Amino acid sequence: MSQETIFDQVQEVLDKLRPFLLRDGGDCELVDVEDGIVKLRLLGACGTCPSSTITLKAGIERALFEEVPGVVEVEQVF
C-alpha cells in the first residue's frame, strides 16, 4: 500500500474522531506518516491536557490500528 493511500486513510479516521476532540476544545493535525508511524500534533486544549497521552494512545492510536492496515505506531510531535 502506498504512503499516500495510508496518509489519506489516516486522515479519514482523524476526520471521524475530530468532533470528539473539538467538543473538548482540542484538535489534532496529521503531520506525516512514515513507515507505518503516524505523526500527530495535538492542538488547542489537547496540546496542554494532562490526559493527552491517553487520548493519543488509547483513543486515536487504537482507532487507527483497527481501521488502517499498516499503521504500527502513533507518535506525538510538537
Q: What is the CATH number of the domain that holds 12?
A: 3.30.300.130
* Predicted local distance difference test score (pLDDT) of residue 23: 94
* Predicted local distance difference test score (pLDDT) of residue 1: 65
For the chain, residues with pLDDT lower than 70 are 1
* Predicted local distance difference test score (pLDDT) of residue 44: 92
The tally of domains found in the chain comes to: 1
Cell numbers 510538537: residue: 78
Domain span including residue 71: 3-76
pTM for the whole thing?
0.90
Q: Please count the residues of the chain.
A: 78
